[in-house]
Amino acid sequence: MTEAVELAIPPSHEYLDLARMVVTTAAALDPMFPDGRVSDLRLAVSEACTNAIDAQQRLDRDESVVVRCSLAEDRVSVEIEDHGGGFTIDAVPSLPEIDDPDRMRHEHGLGVELIRSVADEVVFEEVDGGTIVRLVVFR
């Protein structure tokens, strides 16, 4: 059976903790969902929501960022939808390797890399005036 939770948050960083809490609490309803995977889910959702909020703030858009969480037997699927003008994943530059001295010049830009590292499936979809990030974490 698939159960779903939906949360709409104002585009402000102060609501990130709420988004993290709702999604991880939903995932933890399944006692078989490992704590480590819940941590991965929390990070992936937080990063995606941060990007969504930042995108909307850059455009001064005040629509809610919507987080939809679906629980299935073996996975948690989350969609994060924003009105931040769209996002081209191919345009995200990759960072130098950690042993490259240039790496220390980069204090930002790890968000997408982290999402891809901890989520099992990630899709970035540009929609009308915004982006939907779809991610899946398997049990």
Partner 1 sequence: MFEVHHSDHSGWAVLTVVGDLDVASAPSLRAAIVDRLPEVDGRMVLDLSGVHFIDSMGLGALVGGLKRARALGGDLRLSAPAEPVTRILELTRLDRALVVADGIDDAVTEDPPP
Least distance from partner 1 to the Cβ atom of residue 2, Å: 27
Site for partner 1 contains 58 (CB under 8 A): no
Interface pick for partner 1 out of 5, 16, 89, 122 (rule CB under 8 A): 16
Which one among 19, 27, 33, 46 touches partner 1, defined by CB under 8 A?
46
Binds partner 1 (CB under 8 A): choice among 74, 96, 103, 120: 103
Q: According to the binding rule CB under 8 A, does residue 107 interact with partner 1?
A: yes
Report if residue 41 touches partner 1, rule: CB under 8 A. no
The DSSP secondary structure of the chain, one letter per residue, reads --EEEEEEE-SSGGGHHHHHHHHHHHHTTSTTS-HHHHHHHHHHHHHHHHHHHHHHHHTT--SPEEEEEEE-SSEEEEEEEE-SS---GGGSPPPPPTTSGGGGG--S--HHHHHHHH-SEEEEEEETTEEEEEEEEE-
Return the number of the residue (60 or 108) whose C-beta is nearest partner 1.
Answer: 108
Please tell me whether residue 47 binds partner 1 under the rule CB under 8 A. yes
Binding site for partner 1 (CB under 8 A): 13-14, 16-17, 20, 36, 39, 42-43, 46-47, 50, 97-99, 103-111, 113-114, 117-118
